[in-house]
Amino acid sequence: MSSLTLIWANEAAPVSGNNQVLQPWITHPATSNANLVCRIHTRIRSRLFVGSINGIPGPLAIKFARDGYEVETLQKEIQFYDKSLKTLQGVVVPKVFGGYRGRADGVDIAVLIMEYCQSVEEPDAREFNRKVMLAACKLHATGVMHRNLLASHHIISTVKGLRFVDFSDGIMHRCPGANPQVLSVGRGNQPVGCFELDVLEQTYGQYSDAGITPKEPFHIFGGLDGSKAVVGRRTV
């Protein structure tokens, strides 16, 4: 049985104590039978850190969750990466090296370990737009809707290609053909296709103006099946 020990080298831990030992939720072939030590170096955001693990090359992104809703949401995201998005790891979404869970301070805690996606500048806005639409169609071909891709920090241009991150709001949905509505016409000349891809097409696709993104992040709200979706400013 593998395990993961978190060592908070340069950052204050979100839970008491410097070291926490966690058990695997999902594992990567390189880590499935190992007792790993993960050193946390830098905080990126409230629950997102940069760390390192011996034997895994490069810096890693460590997403941390504490108690209740946070752990449930991270579990959902881990399941997306491990199942529906598995074939897109390292292509459209980050590579995942494992998910671990345990307890500290009397509450559940969990971490998701991914490749660290260092952003680089994309000099050609139209080429960036093209990459976004191609990646979005690949994503939707797996049956996953992200629901928050117009928040620009969820789309990262790296030296290895484009990456979509943070599937905590994602849902499974049917996406026949994985085409934007504006490019697909059904009976009676009615648009058919996917609402999220339609919104992305108007922002990043052939209907965009060289890829000028919204100044405020937008979020696609809808039922669990993606029905009756609308677009609005996110308030959470």
Over residues 137-160, the pLDDT tens digits come to 999 999 999 999 988 789 999 999
Q: Write the CB contacts of 106 (distance below 8 Å, at least 6 apart in sequence).
A: none
DSSP-assigned beta bridge partners for residue 231: 220
- How far, in Å, CA of 168 to CA of 224, rounded? 13
pTM score of the predicted model: 0.80
Q: 177 pLDDT exceeds 70?
A: no
CATH architecture of 125-233: Orthogonal Bundle (1.10)
221 by Cβ neighbours in 10 Å (0-12 / 13-18 / 19+) ranks as: middle
Residue type, 227: S
Residue type, 161: G
According to CATH, the superfamily of the domain at 3-115 is Phosphorylase Kinase; domain 1 (3.30.200.20)
- pLDDT tens string 51-100: 999 888 889 999 999 999 999 999 999 999 999 999 999 999 999 999 99
Supply the mean pLDDT for the chain: 80
Q: 182 pLDDT exceeds 90?
A: no
**Lowest-pLDDT choice from 46-55, 120-129, 205-214:** 205-214
Q: 30 pLDDT exceeds 90?
A: no
Only one residue has tokens 């789309």, namely 155
Contact 191, 122 (CB under 8 A): no
Is 125-233 the same fold as 3-115? no
Query: In the chain, what are the domain boundaries?
Result: 3-115, 125-233
Q: Write the CB contacts of 220 (distance below 8 Å, at least 6 apart in sequence).
A: 145, 147, 148, 150, 195, 196, 199, 229, 230, 231
